[in-house]
Chain A
C-alpha cells in the first residue's frame, strides 16, 4: 500500500506533457507543431501578457497498448487552459486529422476554464468548431475520450465539449460543470453558491458526484497510471455507435427523468440520498474503490 502510494504520479499536479508521456506507451509520444515550430499568441502580446509557444495545448500521436492514438492535452498552468485562437485551431486541426486517419481513439485531456477572455470571440468560435469536430470524429467511428482531473477541471464551453465526447474518465479531484462557482456567486450572490466552500463545490461539480450521477463513465485515482489503465480498459470494451435518433431519444428520456426527479435539489448530499445511498455524508470520505463498489451496488 505504502509502496504503491509512493509510486503514484499525480495527474492533478503533472504538466500536460507529463500526462501525455505517462498516458501513452513509453517513447511513443510524438508532438505535432511542438513549441520550437510555433509562435505565442499575438493577441496576448498586444495586451502585454506573456504567451507560450504551444499556446497552452499539446497535440500529438502515439500508442496506447500498441494501438494508434491521437492525444490532445490542455495545459491548465498556462492561462487556465483557456481556449484562444491558436489553442483552439490546434485542437480543431488534430480532430480533423483524426477523421481522415482514423486512429483507434482520440484522448482529450481537458484542463480548462473555457474561453480565453483576452481572445473572447476567437475562443468562443473555436469551441464551437471543436464541438462540431468532436462529433465528426465520433461519426467517423473513432471514439473521443475525455480525461478530466487537472486543476482547472472542465468548465464553460469545455464542459460542453467534455459531454460531447464518447465518455468521460474523471478523478475525484476532477471537476466538471458549465459556470464556475465564482461566476455564480458574483452574479447570484453567496447564498446561491459560496465558491469558498470547497466541500460544497466538490459535492456539486466534483468527480465523485459526476460519476455517481452517471455523467462520467469511470472514476479513477489521481494517478497517471490509473488514467492510462482506465482509458485502455474503457476502449477495450467500447465500440463507437453511429449517430442516431434512437440513441439521442434514450439520452433525452434519461435527462428528462432526472430533471423531474431532482430539479429542486441544491446539494450532492440530497441527490445521493435520493439515489439510494444510505449514508450520503460518508461519500466524500470514501476512496475510489469503495465509491465504485457503492455505485455498483445501487439500484438501477
Chain B
C-alpha cells in the first residue's frame, strides 16, 4: 500500500505531509483536532540525517504546538549499516531521537505509532517503540532479525527455529508476537480513520509516562516472567 493511500485512509479530513529522504513530516486533521504526522517510509535504514530530521520536527512541534498529539508512521528496515555512520556514533543520534520522543510525552503530547510495513531492531527502538502506544497494520513485518539470519548467528538449525517459532512469541517474528509480548497494542486490518481516532482518544485519557508493556505481556500470555521479576527487584527487602 502506498504512503498516500495510507494517509488518505487515516486522515480523510485532510493531511499535508511531505516526504524527504524517506522521512515523513507534516500534519493532519482528525476529530481530536490537528495532529503532527512523522516517521519513515520505504523501509528506511535510519541514519544520522533521518534521525536528526525526525528529532528536529518533534522539537519544533513541542515549541510551536504545545500538546499537539504525535502520530508516528513506522516503516524501517533498521539502522543504516556503514562505517561512516558508526564513526559519528549512530547510536548517539538514535538516542537523541528517542529522548525527543520521550520529552514530548513529558510535556503532555500524547503519541502513538503505527507500523505500516516494516519495523526492525534499532530503527523501531528509536521512535516507534518510544511512543505511548504502538499499533501495526495486518501485513506488517516486525522483527529483530529474520529466522534464517538468526539461525546463522545462533548456530541453531533453521528448521528447529521455525518449529519453535510456531508457539513462541519470545522470538517468532511478526506483529502478532509483539501483541502477545505487550509491545503492540493491536493489529489493524487496514489503515482506518475510526481506529486511529479511537486510539488517540484512548491515549488522551491514559496517565502519561507509565510503561505498562510488561503487564500487558503478562495478561496476554506472551511474556510470563518479566513483570514478576521487575516487581520482585523493585520491592525486595534490603537484605542482611
Contacts and interface: CB of A to CB of B under 8 A. Distances in A.
B170 A259 contact: no
Interface stretch (A18-26, A223-231, A232-240, A250-258): A250-258
B121 A86 contact: no
A4 interface: no
A61 interface: yes
A243 to B, nearest CB: 5
**Which bucket holds chain B's interface residue count?**
35 or more
Contacts of A100: 234
B234 A122 contact: no
B145 interface: yes
Contacts of A118: 154, 156, 171
B170 A117 contact: no
A177 B90 CA distance: 7
B217 A125 contact: yes
B211 interface: yes
Interface string B75-92: 000010111111111111
Interface centre among A88, A117, A209 (most CB of B within 10 A): A117
A215 B106 contact: no
A57 to B, nearest CB: 10
A125 B122 contact: no
A157 interface: yes
Given A121-B144, A256-B52, A59 B233 contact: yes
A15 interface: no
A204 B87 contact: yes
B19 interface: no
Interface in B212-240: 213-214, 217, 223, 225-234, 236, 238-239
A290 B46 CA distance: 36
B156 to A, nearest CB: 6
Contact of B125 (A61, A93, A122, A157): A157
A73 interface: no
A46 B163 CA distance: 12
A148 B135 CA distance: 35
Contact of B226 (A46, A88, A178, A215): A88
B63 A245 contact: yes
Interface in B120-161: 121-122, 124-126, 129-130, 143-145, 150, 153-154, 156, 160
A162 to B, nearest CB: 7
Contact of B48 (A132, A179, A181, A255): A255
A33 interface: yes
A263 B63 CA distance: 28
Contacts of B22: none
Nearest to A203: B87
A187 interface: yes
A275 to B, nearest CB: 13
Contact of B83 (A115, A204, A243): A204
Contacts of B62: 245
Nearest to A215: B89
A97 B52 contact: no
A94 B226 CA distance: 13
B98 A164 contact: yes
Contacts of B193: none
Contact of B182 (A125, A136, A179): A125
A149 interface: no
In the A-B complex, the 9 residue pairs with the smallest Cβ-Cβ separation, listed nearest first, are: A93-B233, A159-B91, A163-B95, A93-B230, A120-B144, A89-B229, A89-B226, A128-B129, A178-B91
Interface of B: 48-49, 52, 55-56, 59, 62-63, 79, 81-96, 98-100, 102-103, 106-107, 121-122, 124-126, 129-130, 143-145, 150, 153-154, 156, 160, 164, 168-173, 177-178, 181-183, 209, 211, 213-214, 217, 223, 225-234, 236, 238-239
Given A100-B234, A139-B106, 4 more contacts: A121-B181, A129-B213, A133-B211, A163-B89
